[in-house]
């Protein structure tokens, strides 16, 4: 039976690159792969998944109201489903991905575990509850410890309050260990 897998890590840990390499692997074996991305993530535009190392691929944009079960039923050709930036999906869409994995094809999700306040994203929480397999993609804080926090930066300071979703890259976020985050040490 296919599984629902969740690959998580902090920003800059290579989650998107891993998703794109997985897509490449499946396709070189002759499989048809659907690459999905929530339309909330507009950093590289819609319709494209792109990693910091330059890998990219066209993708299918998913809106919060989209029913992924209906989408899969009308797209039976896909033999694997990959989802980048999964933390921006709705929890009910995670349930739909689980159903897709139970009924038809393997589903692998890539995303953040927690937001800049160190709280679980609702979709990530749901994945921790129902995913068949959970894998961490580790990354390193500037001090050398394991990075665990996606710290949001504004004017050289760590923000601990604000809107949940604010799209950005290295100019807005830095991966830190919890100690550096608590001490507000940006190096």
Which residues sit opposite 120 in a β-bridge?
114
3-class SS of residue 29 = coil
The CA-based angle 131-136-140, given to 5 degrees, is 160
User: Of the candidates 6, 1, 3, which has an alpha carbon nearest to the alpha carbon of residue 136?
Assistant: 6
**Residue 187 burial (10 A CB sphere; 0-12, 13-18, 19+):** exposed
Is 184 among the catalytic positions? no
User: Catalytic one among 85, 99, 166, 183?
Assistant: 85
In terms of DSSP H, where are the helices of the chain?
Answer: 15-28, 68-73, 91-103, 122-130, 178-182
Residues known to be catalytic:
85
């Amino acid at each position: 039976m296919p599984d629902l897998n969740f690959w998580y890590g902090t920003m800059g840990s290579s989650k998107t690159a891993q998703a794109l390499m997985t897509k490449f692997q499946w396709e070189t074996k002759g499989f048809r792969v659907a690459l999905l991305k929530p339309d909330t993530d507009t950093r590289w535009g819609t319709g494209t998944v792109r990693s910091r190392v330059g890998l990219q691929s066209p993708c299918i944009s998913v809106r919060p109201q989209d029913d992924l079960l209906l989408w899969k039923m009308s797209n039976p050709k896909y033999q694997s489903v990959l989802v980048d930036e999964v933390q921006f999906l709705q929890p009910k869409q995670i349930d739909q991905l689980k159903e897709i994995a139970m009924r038809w094809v393997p589903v692998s999700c890539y995303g953040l575990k927690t937001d800049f306040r160190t709280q679980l994203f609702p979709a990530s929480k749901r994945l921790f509850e129902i995913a068949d397999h959970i894998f961490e993609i580790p990354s390193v804080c500037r001090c050398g410890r394991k990075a665990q926090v996606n710290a949001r930066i504004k004017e050289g300071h760590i923000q601990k309050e604000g809107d949940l979703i604010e799209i950005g890259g290295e100019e807005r976020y830095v991966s830190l260990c919890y100690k550096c985050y608590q001490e507000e040490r940006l190096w």
